[in-house]
Amino acid sequence: MKTKSFTKTKRSQMTKAKKTNTGEILVLKTELQDNIQQITKSLGNSPDIIVRKWIFGKDDVAIIYTSGLADAKLVNQFIMEPLMSLNENNPSQTMPSENKDLLDGIKKLLLPIGGIRETESFDTLLTAILSGDTVLLCQGYDRCLLLTSKGWEQRAIEEPTTHTVIRGPKEGFTENIATNISLVRRKIKDPNLWLENFQVGCVTKTSVSIMYINGIVKEEVVKEVRERISRIEIDGILESGYIEELIQDKTFTLFPTIYNTERPDVIAAGILEGRIAILIDGTPFVLMVPAIITQFFQTAEDYYQRADISTLLRILRFIALFISLLGPALYIAITTFHQDMLPPQLLISLSSQREGIPFPAFIEALLMEFTFELLREAGTRLPRTVGQAISIVGALVIGQAAIQAGIVSPAMVIVVSITAIASFTVPSYNMAIAFRILRFGMMILAASFGLFGVMAGFIWLIQHLCHLRSFAVPYLSPFAPNIPKDKKDILVRVPWWKMTTRPKILSEENVIRENSSPVSEEEPEESG
């Protein structure tokens, strides 16, 4: 039997041989006992590896599975019971006499189980055992059957914790990729919803799947996603953040270019627009590409409420975004360099508040921002029962104490508080972090050059965003490039009966998604 060595450059090639750390080449043999010894030795004689051996007619057979990963009830009822219930002396009574291949006969006639694969690869056999499947070995055969028997404990479908649901489905993804795929298929019952599977990580062998609707998505985007995932060579994938960082466009930026969410309805809506969902086993966060910047400021509730309400909330979020980015910087620039822009009464009030403050406005803002970031991080890491109390009480106590001690002015506490509240309105956590970091850069520019520095920083930010791409899609589309038809769902959200087309930047083949018109308010004419 010919074998190949398992090289680093061709990890995905599954061969009939596996090379151990000691240089010994492991292959499946015809002797059942030798195969069992090789498997148990390769798995370190782990006590959770269950080996069950018995006589099937004149031949010896054995099953091997991992306790805790395989469903023991399924193994007993649908694998062992059908095989052991036959006449031990004449199992051929249940199989055609012309069928001389025992494994083939068992696969076709005896096992009432759905997923059955046949393999000659020792590496594939070990991966199947460690994935929850059951391996069936027979005496005299250098190949085996892989029987689907996954059945480990898993978290139930619950409401997403990172995306608050105001109106809409209250179900979120789990750590089981099969469950996540089913949640998406429940919402899109179309045969063109295609699924492709990959295995990433030479040690963890994590299952990764991509989902898209054939005929809507751009084929070149699917090809690019497929190639980027296939090129990944890493020991292990433990969370979707690994995949996100490995496949994103190679541009140094603070802004996320791949969207992630826990909500199946958001993924289904993105797929219907022409995007691609990337599901990773072991995490409830599903990735979606391509992504544009305005996508991170939208929520699922924008599409479940009336168009006028959704538009108002979107405009409010964008206003809060500018406050979060420029609030402290504008305060520093105006109070330090451009006092003549303030009304006299306000200028006198701010000047009186700053009497006795030993620090300039920039240091004052830096201290308050740094303190608030510490409180926010502490509130996040502490247990939920005390996290909110610590963050709220800490902010009130420290802020009041800082004012009474003459370290900061009351106006600065107000500015920093409003900025912090505004940053919480950004629905995407990754995008909010990006603007929190940029806020410090804007503060430095404001302290150095005043409003001219703030304007220069803002112009640089726009130029940087114009250069970003997410799988060849411009990050600022439909503003740059300008696509008027796609602006119906950006700053404002037009009624559903006006969203007749999908975003042009995402889909070019099947762009029509709505042909209906609003119900006429005029009374129908009575027929004579």
**DSSP classification of residue 518:** P
- Name the pTM for this structure: 0.84
**DSSP classification of residue 302:** G
Residue 112 has a pLDDT of: 84
pLDDT band, residue 379 (cuts 50/70/90): confident
> How far is residue 198's CA from residue 205's CA, in Å, rounded to a whole number?
9
pLDDT beyond 80 at 226: yes
| Top mean-pLDDT range of 140-144, 409-413, 438-442, 510-514 | 438-442
Q: In the Cβ-directed half-sphere of 366, how many Cα atoms lie within 13 Å?
A: 13
Residue 403 has a pLDDT of: 77
Token representation of residue 357: 């403050």
Domain residue ranges in the chain: 17-147, 177-291, 307-474
> How far is residue 408's CA from residue 371's CA, in Å, rounded to a whole number?
12
Token representation of residue 126: 């070990």
> How far is residue 474's CA from residue 133's CA, in Å, rounded to a whole number?
43
Q: Characterise 333 by phi-psi region: left (phi > 0), alpha (psi -120 to 50), beta (else).
A: alpha
Residue 180 has a pLDDT of: 93
> How far is residue 365's CA from residue 369's CA, in Å, rounded to a whole number?
6
Q: Which residues contact 106 (CB under 8 A, 6 or more apart)?
A: 83, 136, 138, 145
Contact between 396 and 262 (Cβ < 8 Å): no
> 298: closest CA among 423, 169, 419, 428?
428
pLDDT band, residue 19 (cuts 50/70/90): low
- Can you tell me whether residue 129 is helix, strand or coil? helix
pLDDT in tens, 285-334: 999 999 999 999 998 888 998 989 999 999 999 999 999 999 999 999 99
How many DSSP H helices and E strands does the chain contain?
Answer: 16, 14
> How far is residue 29's CA from residue 50's CA, in Å, rounded to a whole number?
20
Residue 513 has a pLDDT of: 76
